[in-house]
Amino acid sequence: MRITEPISANGRPRSLSEAATTRRPARLAILLSGRGSNMLALAREVRAGVLQGLAEVAVVFSNIPEAPGLAAAAELGFATASIDSRGRKRSEFDAEVVAKLQEFQPDYIVLAGYMRILSPTFIRAFAGRILNIHPADTHQHQGLHAYEWAWENRLPETKITVHLVDEGLDTGPVLAQAPVDLRGAQSLADVERRGLAVEHRFYADTLARLIRGELHPQTPASTATALPQ
């Protein structure tokens, strides 16, 4: 899919580099479905880390109203919103979510454990501005259970990938990748612990570099850029 230009709050198209040079902090809509560990890591970096002054949390949204991450976001003082996705048709649900998120005028949609396959309705509304973190190299493994895949195949190393979202499943242009050393891992829980430790640092680092205009998206089949360790 061709990455289209992001749209500013006033409806004027703008490039990622133009968005990066804006003086105000980038507004983040963080989407989750569960406990929200990546949301909490991003929130820490917004308040006192690599995203401080670069970004602000405009809203934390969940498709599960009782998601623990939503309650955690509210406790931190962030605006929250939810629409229950259960029993809903995907395109109709996503149209309602788009309308709700647009109320908060986000610059970026940041998927943080959002367990939904986004419809074209959603993706086209925020084209080029939706980020996802995937716990594998996206041209080796797409979809769910990436840590299980790494463990079952006894991989000595896996990768965390941050990519833009297109209309495929984990097929969007890669922003950056970071390695996870799995040598000596004794269990799936150990694999997940190591991976999450990288995720929680790496997502914020990549987002900061994107906002500053330092990253150039690549297709998953090409060589991805790893952040300095």
What CA–CA distance (Å, rounded) separates 163 from 160?
A: 10
Going from the C-alpha of 105 to that of each of 8, 46, 167, the distances in angstroms are 8, 18, 22
What CA–CA distance (Å, rounded) separates 60 from 72?
A: 10
What CA–CA distance (Å, rounded) separates 149 from 40?
A: 26
**CA nearest 195: which of 227, 229, 159?**
159
Give the residue numbers annotated as catalytic, written as ranges: 134
Q: Is 11 helix (H, G, I), strand (E, B) or coil?
A: coil
